[in-house]
Amino acid sequence: MRVIADYDGQRTTHAALRLAAYLFVRPGELRGAEWAEIDLPNAVWRIPAERMKMREQHIVPLSRQVVQILENLKPYTGDSPYVFPAIGPRARPISENTLGAALRRLGYNSDEMTAHGFRTLASTLLNEQGWHPDLIELQLAHKERNKVRAAYNRAQRLAERREMMQAWANYLDRLKSGGRVLPFRAASLQHSKIKTV
């Protein structure tokens, strides 16, 4: 997070790197983000089904940090339909190689970190911190493997996911600032006790 904070390349690439860590969506979903999908006043991003791997709309709660990044970026890219437009013609998003190239420029080879690696990192740490696995899987937009449960369970658990995403953003900020990071145990234990019916 400290290395990303010091990135001195394109403003849009810098914002995309930060959002990759905060949001841990798939890289293609991030680079293709459109301003029309993002509701800043309600702090939510609705990714349409046609842009999702599982072809279902995905709702992403936005932390305060993410809203601020997007508000700061809008004056620079708001004239494009894309949050992260390519340099030159603004009618297309940044390339699929942009984030990977930025990570290489920051000194990380592909064995150390990839754009998709933010998803693995978030999933691992959130599970270790005791957040309910269903919340993490919903946030990752993973399909329910149990076919019966998938047929009946349509819960989005947005309030709980919003709380988790804000806690995650706060955790990343503490890592970046070099502060002592304590596990989420007190807050997350209540999530692990939630009964699923």
Q: What percent of the chain has pLDDT over 90?
A: 71
pTM, 2 dp: 0.83
The pLDDT mean for the chain works out to: 85
Single out the residue of 81, 55, 83 nearest to residue 70, CA to CA: 83
Collapsed DSSP state (helix, strand, coil) of residue 153: coil
The Cα 82–Cα 30 span in angstroms is 10
Note the CATH number of domain 2-192. 1.10.443.10
Q: What is the DSSP letter of 9?
A: S
Annotated catalytic residues are: 26, 53, 116, 119, 142, 152
pLDDT digits (tens, 9 = 90+) for 16-47: 999 999 999 999 999 999 999 999 999 999 99
Residue 146, classified by CB atoms within 10 Å of its CB into exposed (0-12), middle (13-18) or buried (19+), is: exposed
Domain definitions of the chain by residue range: 2-192
User: What's residue 182's pLDDT?
Assistant: 54
C-alpha–C-alpha distance, residues 185 and 38, integer Å: 32
Q: Residue type for 182, please?
A: L
Q: Is the pLDDT of residue 142 over 90?
A: no
